[in-house]
């Protein structure tokens, strides 16, 4: 790609060419022969004056174009996933630059508001679909498996010994499938969150995680629970769920601690002693989804990890 010359240097170059042409025309029309000392002095004054004009012009342009460079830098660094970045305006900015900065900041406000509204719609639609699937699994598929187990139990009573053993094994497999199905339904839609509230649901989630994976898992709470919206509770639950899933699949950890603190502000912290993740993998593992959920409730998600030093996921809500 061809390198472009900055606007400041383009303007200075044009001014210099214009001044040089003017001096050349003045010399040609006035007949400077540079012989007498007086004419050489006049020419020196003309050159120095011209240089001063160009220097002053360059400084003025640099001063007035600097805010545009500040605006461009902000434009290049803005990330809607990390809201709040704005162009800083100064009292010395010109009216036009101030208007441009204000317009850009208003545009960012609109984009962040629209992005948050779109994320809310998408995530709520996902939760509704998860709830519907969980309900179908629980009410329809689970009932069908229950009927199969009852039929198998009745058949075992009248079956010969050899066939009865096969039927008992089939009944055991059906029961195992039903238990896995119920676990899947609970992951899709946490009924404990709806029925018992956030803290009991988190305790049950951490306890079940430890029993299922063999990883030592502890849950701790600090402070009194404030009034949390349904969205806030669901985000806390889902971030915990996704973080524990990452620990089970990737961390190779022996222990994980989940702490929910309400001292000063609401903060969820999930820390493991696993192998950690590199910077390249740090943006994956469902982190983007958790960041979206954090933004949904006006929160912030931070992930600190280093190879061999474990990973800490922190969700902060004001």
The DSSP result for 79-121, as a single string, is -TTSTT--PPP-TTS-HHHHHHHHHHHHHHHHHHHHHHHHHHH
Location of structure tokens 């402070």: 223
Measured CA to CA, the distance from residue 158 to residue 149 in angstroms comes to 15
pLDDT digits (tens, 9 = 90+) for 151-166: 888 888 888 888 888 8
Residue pair 261/267 in contact by the 8 Å Cβ criterion:
yes
Measured CA to CA, the distance from residue 27 to residue 179 in angstroms comes to 99
Name the token pair of 207: 């306890």
**Run of H or E including 124:** helix 95-136
Location of structure tokens 């305006």: 89
Q: How many CA atoms lie within 13 A of 271 on its CB side?
A: 8
- Helix 95-136 to helix 161-188 angle (10° resolution) is 160
Length of the chain: 318
Measured CA to CA, the distance from residue 316 to residue 318 in angstroms comes to 7
Terminal-residue alpha carbon distance, the chain: 46
Name the token pair of 115: 């992005």
The DSSP letter of residue 219 is E
Whose CA is closest to 285, among 242, 238, 235, 237?
242
The domains found in the chain, sorted by start residue, are: 192-318 (3.30.565.10)
> How high is the pLDDT of residue 99?
85
Q: For the full predicted model, state whether its pTM sits above 0.85.
A: no
Whose CA is closest to 241, among 211, 272, 273, 209?
209
Whose CA is closest to 252, among 201, 223, 215, 283?
215
- Residues of the chain short of pLDDT 70, as ranges, are 1-10, 23, 26-43, 46-47, 81, 277-285
Measured CA to CA, the distance from residue 214 to residue 212 in angstroms comes to 6
Contacts of residue 79, Cβ cutoff 8 Å, sequence gap at least 6: 85
């Amino acid at each position: 790609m061809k390198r472009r010359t900055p606007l400041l240097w383009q303007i200075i170059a044009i001014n210099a060419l214009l001044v040089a042409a003017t001096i050349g025309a003045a010399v040609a029309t006035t007949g400077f022969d540079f012989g007498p000392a007086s004419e050489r002095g006049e020419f020196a004054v003309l050159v120095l004056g011209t240089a001063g004009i160009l220097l002053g012009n360059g400084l003025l342009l640099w001063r007035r174009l600097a805010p545009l460079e500040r605006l461009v830098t902000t434009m290049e660094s803005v990330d809607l996933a990390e809201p709040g970045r704005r162009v800083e305006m100064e009292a010395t900015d010109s009216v036009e630059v101030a208007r441009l900065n204000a317009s850009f900041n208003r545009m960012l406000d609109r984009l962040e508001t629209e992005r948050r509204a779109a994320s809310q719609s998408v995530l709520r639609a996902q939760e509704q679909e998860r709830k519907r699937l969980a309900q179908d699994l629980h009410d329809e598929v689970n009932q069908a498996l229950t009927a199969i187990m009852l039929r198998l139990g009745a058949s075992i009573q009248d079956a010969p010994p050899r066939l009865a053993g096969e039927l008992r094994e089939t009944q055991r497999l059906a029961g195992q499938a039903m238990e896995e199905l119920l676990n899947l339904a609970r992951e899709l839609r946490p009924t404990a969150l709806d029925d018992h509230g956030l803290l009991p649901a988190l305790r049950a989630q951490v306890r079940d995680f430890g029993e299922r994976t063999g990883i030592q898992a502890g849950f701790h709470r600090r402070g009194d629970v404030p009034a949390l919206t349904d969205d806030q509770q669901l985000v806390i639950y889902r971030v915990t769920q996704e973080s524990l899933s990452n620990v089970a699949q990737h961390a190779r950890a022996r222990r994980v601690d989940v702490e929910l603190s309400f001292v000063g502000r609401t903060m969820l912290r999930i820390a493991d002693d696993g192998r950690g993740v590199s910077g390249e993998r740090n943006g994956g593992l469902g982190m983007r989804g958790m960041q979206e959920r954090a933004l949904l409730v006006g929160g912030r998600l931070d992930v600190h990890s280093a190879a061999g030093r474990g990973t800490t996921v922190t969700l902060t809500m004001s």
